[in-house]
Amino acid sequence: MIISHNNNNKKKGFMTRANNSSSNGGNTTNTAPSAAAVHEYHHHPPNNTAFFPTLDKDAGAFEFEQRLDQEDEGVPSTAIREVSLLKELKHPNIVKLLDVFCSQKKLYLIFEFVDLDLKKHMKQVGGLTKDKVQSFAYQLVLGTNYCHEYRVIHRDLKPQNLLIDADGTLKLADFGLARAFSLPIPKYTHEVVTVWYRAPEILLGSSKYSIPIDNWSVGCIIAEMATNTPLFPGDSEIDTIFRIFRKLGTPNESVWAGVRSLPDFKDTFPQWRPRGWENIPGLMDKLGPAGCDLLSMFLAYNPADRLSCKRGLQHPYFAALDKTQFHDSIAAAGDKSYDMSNSDGNGSVKTVTSS
């Protein structure tokens, strides 16, 4: 079955999902696409109304995105950026780019088939268990750290861009806004990241930012997994920043040096006191004191004080988590960066406590 729909957000074009599944007693089983299906895909790429004509019964399931040019100016820069980044990133917690090819003025990206994102998963199950929150949080931090180790800022982390496969593996996806970063830090546009997960430095107009913006998003997502509710669901930039202030307190120079010099900071902002995690329903129950401490560190106002994902992997919140499965999958993928950066070499993870 082919499902085709328009995507009118930042991507020009549409996403088509090919899902040719075998049925067994009402259960659906997805397998890898066959060589014949890939051949057919290359020679007869779909359009926004057509069905894929010759998928055989063993073709299985896979997913692809079509990026169209805009006003005959060539392939969008976001698509080129995503291709170049994804070809370099090989990690179990990052969606696999299987193939790339062009047809006339269209660019096709073929990804591994993962039919569920974190947002939909949370809605389906009606809320995650404590263990599942911890597992997904660890995988989120693990995948984001891998990006950062390879000098890539995702810039659009949100539940809709985190995919969950049939084995419960969380995968970062949609790198259309991602950038490789360098030193000194260049000026970027502040129109990045869905507003609910946008770091306060961007909301307050800063055009100089780096990997801490991803770490803020990670904190927002962990809180949402715990409560099944977005932490800062603003309907505009100013509404979002005020929601942040109401929960974390209005920042001043003592907690965030330089905040008054940000373009959109106003001395007339209302002065709210920190609310405290214990006053947010469900948060302490799901995360416990260690998880709330991790949250506080990821959601530090000052980007320079914000917890990195590398150190986040070593936080006590993850101390009791069985990480064997994650180590094994990373080893199978051939990635060595985790052991060098985050392990003591004996299969155990170092711990760090907040100051």
Any idea which residues carry the catalytic annotation?
156
Helix (H, G, I), strand (E, B) or coil at 102: strand
- Enter the tokens of residue 80: 């080129």
The residues, ordered by sequence, that sit 6+ positions from 305 with a Cβ below 8 Å of its Cβ are none
- Enter the tokens of residue 156: 């659009």
| Contact between residue 325 and residue 93 where contact means Cβ atoms under 8 Å apart | no
- Residue 234 DSSP class: -
To the nearest 10°, the Cα dihedral for 126, 131, 134, 136?
-60
Cα separations (Å) of 237 from 84, 109, 158, 222? 31, 32, 16, 21
Sequence-distant contacts of 42-47: CB under 8 A, at least 24 apart:
42/101, 45/103, 45/106, 45/108, 46/2, 46/4, 46/16
